[in-house]
Amino acid sequence: MTRERLLTLSKETLVALARREGLYVEDDLDFDEDDREEIIDQIMDALEEDRSERIAGNNSAMQAKGRKYDILLDEEIVSQETEEYLLPDHYNETRIVLLLRDPLWAYAYWDIQDVRLKSLCDEPYYEGLFLRVYEFSSAIPSKDHVIDYFDIPVKEEDDNWYISLPKPGGFFCVDLRGKSLHGETLLCRSNMIKSPLGYIAENQEDFFSHPDQMKVLLSGLWDFEGREDERERIPQRVLQILDYQDLSIGN
Amino acid sequence: MKGYLGVILHAHLPFVRHPEYSRFLEEDWLYEAISETYLPLLRMFGRLKADKVPFRLTMSISPTLSDMLADDLLQQRYVDHVNRLIELGEKEVERTASDGDFAPLAAMYLGLYRQNLSDFENLYRRNILSAFRAFEKDGYIEIITTAGTHAFLPLFQQYPEAVDAQIKSAIISHGRNFGTHPKGFWLPECGYYPDLEKLLKSSDISYFFTAAHGILLADKKPRYGVYAPMQLPNGLTAFGRDYPSSEAVWSNSDGYPGDYVYREFYRDIGYDLPMEYIRPYIHEPGVRVYTGYKYYAITSAGDDKRPYRHEVALRKTQEHAENFLYQRQNQVRKLEALMDKPPFVICPYDAELFGHWWFEGIDWLENLFRKIAKSGDGLEMITPSDYLKRHDNHQEGTPSFSSWGNKGYAEVWLDGKNDWIYRHVHKAIERMIELVDRYPDESGLKERVLNQASREVLLSMASDWPFIMKTGTTVPYAEKRIREHLHNFNFIYENLCRNTVNTEWLTRIEKKNNIFPDVDYRLFRKR
């Protein structure tokens, strides 16, 4: 997006773009030339900030990958396709799905059949919905294998949630439940996920006689000399693993 | 010294084809990659072959890219695109004639585009896939495949039917485009989850790649780290990415492409020259885009740029190739002292980085290959297949869920900006499986409808769209693409349920989203 391009846009488009960038624009702004210049300045600043954030929020592999889509500069409002494709808001069924994002976070989305939600809400002394997150000792979701669970209250209008998992390397599934004074109602149960360990497995036989050997072989830090300033270029995951497993990198 | 270097170039672009428009902005991704990466790569391979320089690398060429490169409409549009750039170049040569800095650059770009047009039309007869295949037959490259529409597979693991459809559609496409069965499989974004190997094995795949921590955090401690493959319980092998050699090329701060003498990507006459001059060569209506004519060097971190000097940049690629080789040789020396077999350093890169963003990247690769051939000092370029023929007794284990995305897992493709897509894409997958169950053996029109339904589901699974939603600049287009494929699928699903099929609509969609011409909807058969 260039200043020249912004200057060609209508008042409505500029206001919409400014609001999309999180800028405050008065509803009845009387838009003289000075206002227009000011809004364009603010949009340019916001776009620059977005770009910096995008770069800072990605590792080098993703930044490199993103560059193959760089055919223009911040031109988000352009889309030649004029056809609108509508998707249903929901599928009128009762289900919950759990996706693993990383060793410590999962994402759940759900849907509740209209009649089911209505009948639940109409129950006397209905108190609300909540997610129950179970940790199991194996992939079999039976009572015998439950290690622990915790609840997360959600609202009727919610339909997804990021869940902080208590630890890596566990089996998890989620119930969507309703609560009233009479007790709890199970609406649906998710699939099971297994989060990764997030650290180096301990073998009975340890091949490594010296931590340096392990650093070299496992992490690719073959030219690491132990200086503190070198930590900046070591992937965070590798540092975490080495620090967590007390390999005292740099010492 | 004895060690191996495995260079993997992953060539991929999402399926973008809009016959309903005379020109379409995002189709430029393909045209720029042909001009700046694929044709220059082929020329580089040709030069090395002519000079009898031995080289060996792995190329994964995605099915979406292959099907686009084989498409008549896109081939014609590429020719039109290059002709426009040649016309622009001729004007630029005239405009810059008295400018000592820019005149040679305008002439250089004009020469490149003329060469591209000539290679594409006369040398390859518009079929550059066959050119890559010829280098494979000659033993210089090994071509492997990746998921059908480049889906990030860990987020579909609860649907083995869909993951299998991604794998099998890719293998069918590979057979159609290259006439072979691929031995290796590039997992999109290195996205691996335990059990994926079972589906790969059932498609007769021998090996795949993971991020370094996929091997590092495997269920058994890896004896050789990422410098030897890991054999999984079902016999497949996983090769882990070497971090330092990737960073040497990719890092914003320390990577070679950031050197100040290299060409600046973001200064382009598409933005620098007056609208009335540049208008015919940018996007309609008057939206500025990069044209490829770029006259400045990176120079510094700021906006003040010096004119680009190509010969100086080419000399720098020699220096950087030498440095890379020196670093890898040191790495191998250190590793071989700790290992009882030659270390294998895996260096995977997105192919489009070379030539497109890092303009001199292909020259750097060529210099590297020539230097390895001349003074590799025991460092040999091989492919994973070569390694597996020479070595057995691999370290054993099952890699961890991992990717090469930011923070190493699924965060890039599952984020507040793109998470809404999964409830819809998952639903479409479930409905597709249901359709196969309901119509297991259709023919004629109904089979066409079901095949198109499966194309739309596969297209909706592409990892490119959530990636762009999270990171890119063409977010509205990415969102629209997901919505379009889901909308098309839902339309088919509802019409099939009502037993009404609009042939005119179907034919239009078949012509537009014509990927996987030989797709069989039964790929989604319930397991």
Tokens of B443: 């023919």
Tokens of B98: 């008295």
Residue A207 has pLDDT above 60, yes or no: no
**Is any Cβ of chain A less than 8 angstroms from the Cβ of B246?**
yes
Going by C-alpha positions, the residue among A65, B359, B220, A37 that lies closest to residue B230 is: B220
Distance from the A54 Cα atom to the nearest Cα atom in chain B, whole angstroms: 6
Examine the domain organization and report whether B239 and B350 are in the same domain: yes
The amino acid that residue B247 corresponds to is E
Residues of A in contact with B247 (CB under 8 A): 60, 233
The winner for highest mean pLDDT among A17-21, A220-224, B354-358 is: B354-358
Residue A76 has pLDDT above 60, yes or no: no
pTM (whole model) above 0.90: yes
DSSP string spanning B125-157?
TT-HHHHHHHHHHTTSEEEEEE-TT-B-GGGGT
Please list the rounded mean pLDDT of every run of 10 residues in chain B (527 residues).
Answer: 95 96 92 98 98 98 98 98 98 97 98 98 97 98 98 97 98 97 98 98 98 91 91 97 88 86 93 92 84 94 87 98 95 88 95 95 98 93 98 94 92 94 98 97 94 98 95 84 96 86 91 96 94
Examine the domain organization and report whether B334 and B381 are in the same domain: yes
Domains present along chain A, CATH in parentheses:
3-69 (no CATH), 95-194 (2.60.40.10), 200-251 (no CATH)
Domain presence at residue B345: yes
| Cβ contacts of B464 within 8 Å, gap of 6 or more | B13, B14, B150, B478
Residue A249 has pLDDT above 60, yes or no: no
Where does residue B377 rank: exposed (0-12), middle (13-18), buried (19+ CB within 10 A)? middle
Q: Do A68 and B353 touch (CB under 8 A)?
A: yes
Examine the domain organization and report whether B360 and B485 are in the same domain: no
B241 annotated ligand-binding residue: yes
Decide: A155 and A178 in contact? Cβ < 8 Å. no
Q: Evaluate the CA torsion angle B66, B67, B70, B76 in order and state its sign.
A: negative
Q: Do A218 and B254 touch (CB under 8 A)?
A: no
What value does the mean pLDDT of chain A take? 80
Q: Which domain holds residue B432?
A: 412-524
Decide: B95 and B87 in contact? Cβ < 8 Å. no
- Per-residue confidence (pLDDT) for residue A227, from 0 to 100: 62
Domain presence at residue B300: no
pLDDT tier for residue A132 given thresholds of 50, 70 and 90:
very high
Decide: A58 and A64 in contact? Cβ < 8 Å. no
Whether B303 is catalytic: no
Residue A164 has pLDDT above 80, yes or no: yes
Long-range CB contacts for residues B255-259, cutoff 8 Å, separation at least 24: B255/A60, B256/B320, B256/B323, B256/B324, B256/B358, B256/B364, B257/B353, B257/B357, B257/B358, B257/B361, B258/B298, B259/B298, B259/B316, B259/B320
Q: Do A217 and B287 touch (CB under 8 A)?
A: no
B465 annotated ligand-binding residue: no
- Per-residue confidence (pLDDT) for residue A248, from 0 to 100: 42
Q: Tell me the count of A-B CB pairs closer than 8 A.
A: 248
Examine the domain organization and report whether B64 and B193 are in the same domain: yes
More confident residue, B48 or A227: B48
pLDDT tier for residue A225 given thresholds of 50, 70 and 90:
low
Going by C-alpha positions, the residue among B363, B513, B510, B465 that lies closest to residue B41 is: B363
Domain presence at residue B442: yes
CATH number, domain of B488, equals: 1.20.1430.10
Domain presence at residue B319: yes
B364 annotated ligand-binding residue: no
Domain presence at residue B178: yes
- Partner residue opposite A79 with nearest CB, options B242, B412, B476: B476
Decide: B9 and B349 in contact? Cβ < 8 Å. yes
The amino acid that residue A40 corresponds to is I
Q: Do A241 and B412 touch (CB under 8 A)?
A: no
Domain presence at residue B433: yes
Examine the domain organization and report whether B520 and B402 are in the same domain: no
- Per-residue confidence (pLDDT) for residue A250, from 0 to 100: 36
- Per-residue confidence (pLDDT) for residue B259, from 0 to 100: 93
Q: What are phi and psi of A194, to 5 degrees?
A: -120, 120
Distance from the A149 Cα atom to the nearest Cα atom in chain B, whole angstroms: 23
Q: Do A80 and B21 touch (CB under 8 A)?
A: yes
Domain presence at residue B279: no
- Partner residue opposite A72 with nearest CB, options B250, B407, B473: B473
Examine the domain organization and report whether B171 and B202 are in the same domain: yes
Q: Which of B364, B381, B407 is the last residue of a domain?
A: B407
Examine the domain organization and report whether B204 and B330 are in the same domain: yes
pLDDT tier for residue A53 given thresholds of 50, 70 and 90:
confident
CATH number, domain of B56, equals: 3.20.110.10
For chain B, how many structural domains are there in total?
2
Examine the domain organization and report whether B12 and B42 are in the same domain: yes
Find the catalytic residue in B189, B268, B360, B479: B189
Please state, in angstroms and rounded to a whole number, the distance separating the CA atoms of residues B348 and B184.
Answer: 13
